[in-house]
Amino acid sequence: MRQVNEINIAAQSAASVNGGAVPALNLFKASVQMVCTGAAAGTLVLQASNDDLTTLPGSAQVPTNWTNIPSATVSISGAGTYLIPATDICYQYIRASYTNSGSGTIAVVIKALGA
């Protein structure tokens, strides 16, 4: 069984930020957890890309086309932990994306399971 438990947005001062691309081959479920301090506020979403980068093996390419996964979103309103629950996925890549409107610190971890 394939498992991913990855820091997607490292702890930092709150700002609008996109996490790094997580290869989602053979993954079928993912959840996202955000830990916030201070007066955090904003929106966290799980995004997907089906860009095919296998045509240039070993290249440093990264996906460029990202789409929000419907219902994989959570509103952030203050210090605490927030969760996007287990969500079905069938994409080439996933990442967390945070739109900030507050202050404090944020950190995001993606957990995914697959075959």
Domain that holds residue 47: 2-53+64-102
Asked if residues 26 and 113 have their Cβ atoms less than 8 Å apart, the reply is no
Instruction: Give the tens place of pLDDT for each residue, 83-111.
Output: 999 999 999 999 999 999 999 999 999 99
Residue 115 lies in a domain: no
Task: Please choose, from the candidates 92, 110, 111, the residue with its C-alpha nearest in 3D space to the C-alpha of residue 8.
Answer: 110
Q: What is the pTM of this model?
A: 0.92
So what's the pLDDT on residue 55? Answer: 61
Residue 83 lies in a domain: yes
Residue 69 lies in a domain: yes
Residue 1 pLDDT class (50, 70, 90 cuts): confident
Residue 114 lies in a domain: no
So what's the pLDDT on residue 108? Answer: 98
Q: Determine if residue 42 is left, alpha or beta; phi over 0 gives left, psi from -120 to 50 gives alpha, anything else beta.
A: left
Cα–Cα distance measured from residue 69 to residue 86, given in angstroms and rounded to the nearest whole number: 12
CATH number at residue 9: 2.60.120
Instruction: Give the tens place of pLDDT for each residue, 42-76.
Output: 999 999 999 987 665 555 678 999 999 999 999 99
Q: Which two tokens stand for residue 89?
A: 């996925």
Tally the domains of the chain.
Answer: 1
